[in-house]
Homo-oligomer: A and B are copies of this chain.
Amino acid sequence: MSPRFELDHRLAADTVEVTDLSLCHVRLMNDRAVPWLLLIPRKVNLRELYQLTKKERGQLMDEVVLSQHVLEALFRPEKLNIGALGNMVNQFHMHVIARFRLDRAWPNAIWNTTPIVRYPGDEMELMLRSLRAEFSQELVKKAKH
């Protein structure tokens, strides 16, 4: 039996499930400062980008761009940030983050900055509903092209 993909428990603890795309599991960072998505390819033992095939890298880019369109449509950010670091949790995960001139860390990188304020429950529900609806819309748009 081949090993099954399992989300790292530290990534799971800081985030909430949004949706699943063809390659990636998509989660929302529970950090109210900025809309912050994590894309985790459902591949076992994936640490570095270069371990993906050319085709999988293309799919990852498609899903990053789809996520960027979702964040642009919902939040009109000043800038989008993307990154895959993995120094603490080495399960490959790509950050896709909407940044604003008045956010906690602007214009610096937002990783490892504090204080992290969690979403109140009702606000989290609203975020998830908006994100899921926008992912569906963007997927429909993409399918039409």
- A58-106 interface (Cβ within 8 A of B): 58, 60-62, 64-65, 68-69, 72, 78-88, 90, 99, 106
B106 in contact with A109 (CB, 8 Å) = no
Task: Name A81's contact: one of B78, B80, B83 (CB within 8 Å).
Answer: B83
- A33-75 interface (Cβ within 8 A of B): 47-50, 54, 57-58, 60-62, 64-65, 68-69, 72
A61 in contact with B58 (CB, 8 Å) = yes
Copies in the complex: 2
Kindly state whether residue A108 has any CB partner on chain B within 8 Å: yes
CB distance from A38 to the nearest CB of B (A): 14
Complex Cα spacing A72 to B48, Å: 11
Q: Say whether chain A's binding surface is mostly helix, strand, loop, or mixed.
A: mixed
Complex Cα spacing A99 to B83, Å: 14
Complex Cα spacing A108 to B81, Å: 16
B107 in contact with A87 (CB, 8 Å) = yes
CB distance from A15 to the nearest CB of B (A): 18
Residues of A within 8 A of B (CB): 47-50, 54, 57-58, 60-62, 64-65, 68-69, 72, 78-88, 90, 99, 106-109, 111-112
12 contacts between A and B (CB under 8 A): A48-B68, A49-B64, A49-B68, A54-B58, A60-B61, A61-B61, A78-B87, A83-B109, A87-B109, A108-B111, A109-B109, A109-B112
